[in-house]
Amino acid sequence: MSADGAAAGVRLADVRLRDPFLLQAEPGRYVLLGTSDEHVWGGPATGFDCWTSADLESWHGPVPAFRPPEGFWSSEQFWAPEVHPWAGRFAMVATFLDDATRVRGVAVLMADQATGPYVPWSDGPVTPRGLPCLDGTLHVDDDGSPWLVWSRGAEATDDLPALADGEMWAQRLTADLRSATGEPVLLFRASTAAWSRPLRLPPGVEHSALRLAEDPLFTDGPFLFRRPDDGALHLLWSSFGERGYAMGVAVSSGGVLGPWEQADEPLWPHDGGHGMLLVRPDAPDLLVLHAPNDSPLERPLLAPVAWVDGRLTLV
């Protein structure tokens, strides 16, 4: 045990983590974080933890990356943090349940180090307040403009009906990442992917109890990256397929606004998802996801991938 209370030599099989995000903060130093609260679906939230490693085998953690300050606008459902270098610092985008509206939104936090501590940066969510939004990811377009891409939440609110066909949206951000600018743009719906199937709830759980439409199609967990040979923009995202939670790929023939074409089959077809791609110049790229999808069994998983005939493929 180290001076900060974190354990050294932890294996990923022993880390409960949803929505994992992995970055190489510097050569030989990796930082892993994700949805790490014990009370992931409801109840008091603690914050976000992270783990560090030099070899992707042995991990040091958990280390507190974010703890909400007094008066923070959310107190539960802290989900899906991502960390990106930005203007000499590190920007985190993450999902929070707004205590005032009881609707999830995506906010930006900032830190001087990849491991934190992160502090609130945006004034509450940068996604439209009152519209269920989750799983934001940061994308920088060719002209240097930052965009937030997120999933529209499927649940009903006091003002909006439940969404039967999940949606993926994009919103331009200001250069300082503190707020949105312009209007959000719909990228695609879940039904455009031939592999997407309706959510199957456990026996005894009713859609109405979760404020969901009957047999909804979902979108969540977006992440954007470019193909190395021609720079074509790709988007990883998750939904439910024939074999449970799954992850597919969409390809844009333009920029972040598309149009987007869906792959016929999911990249990860069974009981795992909410992934991202870690590109490494000196080793195989890694697909990073959580599997299985059932709480509290979810664990971060690193799967080597390669480009075969222009398509991202599991090795």
Q: pLDDT at position 5, please?
A: 61
Q: Residue 1's pLDDT is what?
A: 55
Can you give the pLDDT at residue 202? 78
The pTM assigned to this predicted structure is 0.95
Intervals of the chain under pLDDT 70: 1-5
> Residue 140 contacts by C-beta under 8 Å, 6 or more apart in sequence?
146, 147
Of the candidates 184, 81, 68, 179, the one whose C-alpha atom is nearest the C-alpha of residue 122 is: 179
Instruction: Give the Cα separation of 40 and 77 in Å (integer).
Output: 6
What's the chain look like in SS3?
A: CCCCCCEEEECHHHCCCEEEEEEEEECCEEEEEEECCCCCCCCCCCCEEEEEECCCCCEEEEEEEECCCCCCCECCCCEEEEEEEECCEEEEEEEEEECCCCCEEEEEEEECCCCCCCEECCCCCCCCCCCCEEEEEEEECCCCCEEEEEEECCCCCCCCCCCCECEEEEEEECCCCCCECCCCEEEEEHHHCCCCECCCCCCCCCHHHHCCCCCCECCEEEEEEECCCCCCEEEEEEEEECEEEEEEEEEEEEECCEEEEECCCCCECECCEEEEEECCCCCCEEEEEEECCCCCCCEEEEEEEEEECCEEEEC
- Measured between alpha carbons, how far is residue 94 from residues 160, 163, 220, 254 in Å? 23, 22, 13, 27
79-100 pLDDT per residue, tens: 999 999 999 999 999 999 999 9
pLDDT of residue 4: 64
Q: What domains are there in the chain, each with its CATH number? A: 7-314 (2.115.10.20)
Q: What is the CA radius of gyration of the chain?
A: 18
Predicted pLDDT at 203? 79
Length of the chain: 315
